[in-house]
Amino acid sequence: MSGHELSAFIFVLICVIILLIMLKEDDKLKRLITAVFRDYFVYAPVKRDGRLLAQEAKVPDEIDWSGKLTENSWKELFLPHREKLFEGRQGLAETKGEQPPVACLGMNILDLKALTLFDLVFGNDVYYQNRRQKTVVIGYGADWPNSYKKSKVFSHNFKEDALEHVSFDVFIAGRKGGEPIFYSGSSVGRKLLESCRIKDFENIKFAGAIAESGPDKRMLEIKGKLERSANHYLWDNLDQVCLACGKCTVACPTCFCFDLEDKANPDDPRRDRRWGSCFYNDFSLVAGGHQELDTVRKKIFFWYYHKFVRIPKEYSHVGCVSCGRCTRTCPVGIDIAKNIAKISKLK
Amino acid sequence: MRNIYQPQEVKVISVSRESIDTVLLRFQFIDKKRQKAFAFLPGQFMQIGFPGWGECPISICSSSADSKKYFELAVRDVGQLTHKINELKNGDEAWVRGPFGNGFDTGLYTGKELILIGGGCGFVPLRPLIIDCLAGRIKPKSLKIFYGCLNEDTLLFKKQYPEWNRGAELSVILEKPTERWHGEKGLITALIQKRQISSSAVVVMVGPPIMYRFAVKELEAKKIKAQNIWVSLERRMYCGVGVCQHCAIGPYYVCKDGPVFSYSQLKDIPNAL
């Protein structure tokens, strides 16, 4: 081999090594996703028929990495639209089905915040906890954390340490033109990353749903004002506009009202839990026909009051994560951000 | 983890038909250990139901002094489930969860003039207070009981009136009595107007929302302070632990923060009463 040939060989060798290293780096995300698809039923942002929905992904290529909020929320995976709590054949026996392992892959930070609230609300709910333990939560932010700064959050303040106060197992921070940064938020997340030979991840220690400095200031300000807003003209206006269709309660990632519903079917007597909606007439109906929330004004005020007063009061956590899904789904264009801006103007 | 939605089985050990539409049932837990550990406060409620029939919240109407032996519920037949409960016989089984709610703060009554006002089946949760006052477990200075009802057929706990009249001052008023009725006729507000009530009295009132609205006005006319007027509210509810939202009023949950509230807690909340 001549000197010329040798230098050409060395050049090619170096190129191959660099390429291999680059491939290896790129493979981190691929390795993680392959592992997740191998071990879990994967739910992820998937675009079908022009709609971006959090739904079951059959193959990794289906996943949308734009970082955009999915049209639907992820709550169905944590609080199913209907679930059987008790078998009624012989008395009332707790339904004990094996929960399938589910991966929620690509949850936006706002959805992680909603999940954090659910973890607080259903902390002592055995059905929720059984499902939660079988679920691995993988958050994703494209161009993180700039993407969050850019989103129009009206219900609370954005903090740089946002990841320390939300529930997740792994968080993937996508960066423009660079490799993603991986964060682990739990021992499950750490083990998952390590099993994929991803070593340079940052370990985030969950510091509780509420920041050490106390509940969010903007949340408290809105709470105080909304509490005093019962006579505000806003509710009279909404009374005229809102159809009480309840679509917002379905779209909202933090709406968790539910009914317990029994079925007397002799073949399968059961007690179910199913989503409720404060916009429906039976929500507050009592024996004798009295209905507490008997006007649209009362219903929509009840809905806002739950999000902006009752939840902050009880959990010190925001009851609205500013995802804007209710605004997008509302058939008559009721805009929650604009309404909260109106309430914020109250002295 | 304990399942907060898991009901437990109880057995009916006695049945007494109280009125044309209301039955008084005495229950015992099938699980003897559970019965021995059972404790509740007057004013708390149980969720009672059957597989396939759902549950409904019913105030406990026996004294907490007997909680280790049994508990009693008086149930008015107003819907499918309460109709089924009304058909229960000795030895029949039902499923319960509870007790839920805060109950009455009976320590506040010590040394005070205590006024109990019951309207219709709202009289039910007041029964444990009456029993405990007469037995000396609750120690007010004096006890007056005002009970308003539709007619003779719907009067509750009739057998106990002679005993209650010995230890307290019981006034009954009927809205639409028959000609045989020699007592007072009219609405409960008429009783409040007529009777002597000191402005320092503590009032506990249970009845339908319409009664609260008018009775509160009469009590305010007698200079009774909002924080000394207590009510027990009824709302649709499912979970019993402040999650499902059905019973929310303003910042409170009737199932968890109530059902007992002072009027001062409620007076600024739109549509609370």
Segment A261-302, tens digit of pLDDT = 998 887 888 999 999 999 999 999 988 888 899 999 999 999
CB contact at 8 A, A207 and A164? yes
Query: Are A92 and B51 inside 8 Å of each other by CB?
Result: yes
Query: Looking at per-residue confidence, does A203 or A160 come out higher?
Result: A203
DSSP A95-139: P-PPPPPEEEEEE-HHHHHHHHHHHHHTTT-HHHHHHHHTEEEEE
Q: Inform me whether the C-beta atom of residue A285 falls under 8 Å from chain B C-beta atoms.
A: yes
* Contact residues on chain A for B3, CB-CB shorter than 8 A: 94, 126
pLDDT category at A1 given cuts 50, 70, 90 is low
Residue A324's pLDDT is what?
Answer: 95
Same domain membership, residue B141 and residue B95: no
Phi (first) and psi of residue B185, to 5 degrees: -125, 130
Same domain membership, residue B52 and residue B18: yes
Residue A335's pLDDT is what?
Answer: 97
Q: Provide the shortest C-alpha distance from residue B244 to chain A (in Å).
A: 5
* Contact residues on chain A for B233, CB-CB shorter than 8 A: none
Query: Are B49 and A286 inside 8 Å of each other by CB?
Result: no
- Residues B197 and B183: their CA atoms lie apart, in Å, by 20
Mean pLDDT of B49-57: 93
pLDDT at A25 over 60: no
With respect to residue B175, please indicate whether it lies within any of the assigned structural domains.
yes
Q: Inform me whether the C-beta atom of residue A261 falls under 8 Å from chain B C-beta atoms.
A: yes
pLDDT at A153 over 60: yes
Closest CA to A330 of A266, A210, A247, A214: A247
Residue with tokens 């309430």: A343
Whole-number mean pLDDT of chain A?
91
Residue A9's pLDDT is what?
Answer: 72
Which of A91, A94, A227 lies closest to B51 in CB terms?
Answer: A91
Residue A148's pLDDT is what?
Answer: 80
Same domain membership, residue B96 and residue B197: no
Q: Inform me whether the C-beta atom of residue A1 falls under 8 Å from chain B C-beta atoms.
A: no
Reduced to 3 states (helix: H, G, I; strand: E, B; else coil), residue A207 is coil
Same domain membership, residue B158 and residue B217: yes
Query: Considering only residues 214 to 243 of chain A, which have any Cβ-Cβ distance to chain B shorter than 8 Å?
Result: 227, 230
Mean pLDDT of B218-247: 96
- Residues B241 and B254: their CA atoms lie apart, in Å, by 10
Which of A124, A230, A285 lies closest to B236 in CB terms?
Answer: A285
With respect to residue B51, please indicate whether it lies within any of the assigned structural domains.
yes
Same domain membership, residue B125 and residue B40: no
Domain containing residue B122: CATH number: 3.40.50.80
Same domain membership, residue B67 and residue B112: no
Which of A273, A288, A292 lies closest to B271 in CB terms?
Answer: A292
- Residues A173 and A24: their CA atoms lie apart, in Å, by 18
Residue B273's pLDDT is what?
Answer: 84
Which of A256, A258, A314 lies closest to B238 in CB terms?
Answer: A258
Q: Provide the shortest C-alpha distance from residue B56 to chain A (in Å).
A: 10
Residue A223's pLDDT is what?
Answer: 97
Look up the pTM and report it.
0.92
CB contact at 8 A, A137 and A169? yes
Same domain membership, residue B136 and residue B90: no
Reduced to 3 states (helix: H, G, I; strand: E, B; else coil), residue B8 is strand
Query: Are A122 and B243 inside 8 Å of each other by CB?
Result: yes
With respect to residue B261, please indicate whether it lies within any of the assigned structural domains.
no
Q: What is the pLDDT of residues B156-210, one digit of tens each?
A: 999 999 999 999 999 999 999 999 999 999 999 999 999 999 999 999 999 998 9
With respect to residue B211, please indicate whether it lies within any of the assigned structural domains.
yes
Q: Which residue of B has its CA nearest to A271?
A: B52
Sheet with B22-29: list strands edge to edge: B54-59, B45-50, B93-100, B8-17, B22-29, B71-76
pLDDT at A217 over 70: yes
- Residues A123 and A82: their CA atoms lie apart, in Å, by 19
Q: Which residue of B has its CA nearest to A123?
A: B1
Mean pLDDT of A190-209: 94
Q: What is the pLDDT of residues A134-150, one digit of tens each?
A: 999 999 999 888 888 77
Phi (first) and psi of residue B167, to 5 degrees: -95, -10
Mean pLDDT of A173-201: 93
* Contact residues on chain B for A230, CB-CB shorter than 8 A: 270
Closest CA to A115 of A167, A159, A165: A167
Same domain membership, residue B57 and residue B32: yes
Counted domains in chain B? 2
Residue A14's pLDDT is what?
Answer: 65
CB contact at 8 A, A133 and A59? no
* Contact residues on chain B for A270, CB-CB shorter than 8 A: 51-52
Reduced to 3 states (helix: H, G, I; strand: E, B; else coil), residue A327 is helix
Q: Which residues make Cβ contacts (< 8 Å) with residue A302, sequence separation at least 6?
A: A278, A293, B248
Residue with tokens 């979970």: B239
Query: Are A126 and B51 inside 8 Å of each other by CB?
Result: no
Residue A50's pLDDT is what?
Answer: 92
Whole-number mean pLDDT of chain B?
95
Q: Inform me whether the C-beta atom of residue A258 falls under 8 Å from chain B C-beta atoms.
A: yes
pLDDT category at B252 given cuts 50, 70, 90 is very high
Q: Which residue of B has its CA nearest to A279?
A: B246
Query: Are B56 and A287 inside 8 Å of each other by CB?
Result: yes
pLDDT category at B124 given cuts 50, 70, 90 is very high
- Residues B139 and B137: their CA atoms lie apart, in Å, by 6
Mean pLDDT of B75-98: 96
Q: Provide the shortest C-alpha distance from residue A165 to chain B (in Å).
A: 22
Measured CA to CA in angstroms, residue B178 lies from A77, A295, B154, B183, B187 at distances of 60, 38, 12, 11, 15
Same domain membership, residue B122 and residue B44: no
ipTM of the shown complex:
0.91
pLDDT at A203 over 90: yes
Residue-range definition of the domain harbouring residue B57: 8-100
Q: Inform me whether the C-beta atom of residue A310 falls under 8 Å from chain B C-beta atoms.
A: yes
Query: Are A258 and B248 inside 8 Å of each other by CB?
Result: no
With respect to residue B154, please indicate whether it lies within any of the assigned structural domains.
yes
* Contact residues on chain B for A85, CB-CB shorter than 8 A: 5
Mean pLDDT of B214-218: 95
Give the alpha-carbon dihedral of B153, B159, B161, B166, to 10 degrees: 170
Residue A51's pLDDT is what?
Answer: 95
Identify the bridge partners of residue B96 per DSSP, sorted by sequence position.
Answer: B8, B48
Residues making up chain B, counted from first to last: 273
Domain ranges in chain A are 28-214, 218-344
Identify the bridge partners of residue A259 per DSSP, sorted by sequence position.
Answer: A274
Q: Inform me whether the C-beta atom of residue B182 falls under 8 Å from chain A C-beta atoms.
A: no
Same domain membership, residue B146 and residue B95: no
Query: Are B51 and A271 inside 8 Å of each other by CB?
Result: yes
With respect to residue B259, please indicate whether it lies within any of the assigned structural domains.
no
Domain containing residue B95: CATH number: 2.40.30.10
With respect to residue B209, please indicate whether it lies within any of the assigned structural domains.
yes
pLDDT category at A20 given cuts 50, 70, 90 is low
pLDDT at A95 over 90: no
Q: Provide the shortest C-alpha distance from residue B137 to chain A (in Å).
A: 34
Query: Are B6 and A302 inside 8 Å of each other by CB?
Result: no
Same domain membership, residue B200 and residue B159: yes
* Contact residues on chain A for B245, CB-CB shorter than 8 A: 256-257, 276, 278, 306
With respect to residue B243, please indicate whether it lies within any of the assigned structural domains.
no
Ranges A141-155, A221-235, A312-326: which has the least confidence: A141-155
pLDDT category at B22 given cuts 50, 70, 90 is very high
Query: Are B246 and A122 inside 8 Å of each other by CB?
Result: no
Same domain membership, residue B131 and residue B13: no
Residue A53's pLDDT is what?
Answer: 97
Q: What is the pLDDT of residues A57-93, one digit of tens each?
A: 999 999 999 999 999 999 999 999 999 999 988 788 8
